[in-house]
Amino acid sequence: MKLWGGRFTEKTDEAASSFHSSLSFDQRLYRQDITGSMAHAEMLGKESIIPSTDATAITNALKGILSDIESGVLSIDLSSEDIHSFVEAELIARIGDAGRRLHTGRSRNDQVALDMRMYVKEEIGELSKLLAELLEILLTLAKKHKTDIMPGYTHLQLAQPVTLAHHLLAYVQMFRRDFERLADCYKRVDVLPLGSGALAATTYPLDREFVAKKLNFSAISSNSMDAVSDRDFCIEFVSALSITMMHLSRFCEELILWSSDSFGFVEMADAYSTGSSIMPQKKNPDMAELIRGKTGRVYGSLVALLAMMKSLPLAYNKDMQEDKESVFDAADTVRACLSVFSKMLETLTFKTEKMYDAAKKGYTNATDVADWLVKNGMTFREAHEVTGRLVLYAIEKNKKLDDLTLEEYTSISDIFNESVYSAISIEACVNARNVAGGPSEQAIHEAIKEVEEFLRGTAG
């Protein structure tokens, strides 16, 4: 059934019809489409725009169609142009002419905008739950590893000692921002476009506020042209997902490095690893690598949406049919990645002894030597210079800073005394950094408390 055939005298070319059809992908919007139509029909009856008996018949029939699709009794006819055409044709087949009244005061333009907004709102809810679950897992791991010391890196070079908890809490902050971004995005998605018509609203006295309340929208659109041609909410949603994937990819990259023999900081569970077809000794971090790879796929969806919208004149254009596959694929990909990543993370084995040993290498306590000098009267720039010479000397002698004798220290600067040793132990280096946001045990304790409060708020 075509919703626009009256103007035409010739059939659409078969290849063009197939090319034009969106049902292969927009059929997944059947629930949103039917739910939106039920609210629209109820409003039409309430306002006496159509007979109340017809509105009731439409609503009951739509409930039946929804139930039949979900139970498998009714299959979606893939020869239909789109999900809207299929639902309306099935409605008319069931109740006759009363079904033809459903589209009163509505266009497919505001109808599809409604369906997409309902879909994105639901996806934000589901993805937010997955992010909250990931945050809980990270928090549990941080509590377990509050005092386990590991090296921190800059430029992938050993830098300063931190704790595993501090490292994990860095990702907590990233995923927390992702959660907050989705919550903020939701505000702009939560706007009802129905009632905007094709572009210039309608002459019927629609009660848009009634429909908004029925469909749990907090606001109605303010401009009919913008409402039908706006896909900012799709772009913003996929942009937020792209940032989430960036964070997942960064974490996966570290886990891939850490699981290598060169690092040896973690071991992936067998359930989230694969082997080699030729090298029997191999245990590959394929799930982490796949998540890293799928990040580019989500970025591609974002770029596709931006390119699609970049030069469209007002109002609706058929180009915008291309929004759905990008949004669907991005949401599906991120949902799958978050699910697998969380389970993979829960089953990781952290090799904390190897982390500790690595933290003692690479002169990661050099900054603490400089800080000790500053606290004993030297300017920081001079302390930096002295410590640099001390490190160079230690490298030449193949010694750690902890292993140098006091005589060797004083040969570089006579300010040094025995107390330097207690200041530059790895444990001291970590716990001396007892500032908000730092890696000390006390600072980590406070950071964990703050995140726990945040998560309690999200559960409410």
Given 218, 260, 276, 339, which residue is catalytic?
276
For residue 155, indicate whether it is catalytic: yes
- pLDDT of residue 1 exceeding 60: no
Confidence of residue 459 (pLDDT cuts 50, 70, 90): confident
What ranges do the domains of the chain cover? 12-104, 109-149+161-350, 358-459
Q: Comparing 12-104 with 109-149+161-350, is the CATH topology the same? A: no
| pLDDT exceeds 50 at position 154 | yes
What CATH number was assigned to the domain covering residues 12-104? 1.10.275.10
**pLDDT tens across 44-100, in order?**
999 999 999 999 999 999 999 999 999 999 999 988 999 999 999 999 999 999 999
Whole-prediction pTM: 0.93
Q: What separation, in Å, do the N-terminal and C-terminal C-alpha atoms of the chain show?
A: 46
Distance CA 227, CA 337 (A): 32
The answer to whether the beta carbons of residues 58 and 52 sit under 8 Å apart is no
Spell 236-267 as b/e; 16+ CB within 10 A means b: bbbbbbbebbebbbebbebbbbbbeeebebbb
Tracing tokens 């005589």 back to the chain, one arrives at: 407
Name the pLDDT band for 19 (thresholds 50, 70, 90).
low
Burial of 415 (0-12, 13-18, 19+ CB in 10 A): middle
4 pLDDT more than 60? no
Residue 212 CA to residue 219 CA, distance in Å, equals 7
Task: Based on the residue annotation, tell me whether 145 is a catalytic residue of this protein.
Answer: no
What pairs with residue 266 in β-bridges?
A: 350
Q: How far is CA 271 from the centre of its chain?
A: 24
Among residues 155, 222, 262, 311, the one annotated as catalytic is 155
For 124-162, give the DSSP string: HHHHHHHHHHHHHHHHHHHHHTTT-EEEEEETTEEEEEE
* CATH for the stretch 109-149+161-350: 1.20.200.10
Q: What is the identity of the amino acid at 210?
A: F
In the predicted structure, residue 278 carries a pLDDT above the cut 70: yes
Q: Read off the pLDDT of residues 289-343 as tens digits, 9 standing for 90 and up.
A: 999 999 999 999 999 999 999 999 999 999 999 999 999 999 999 999 999 999 9
pLDDT at 194 over 90: yes
Its CATH class, for the domain covering 358-459, is mainly alpha
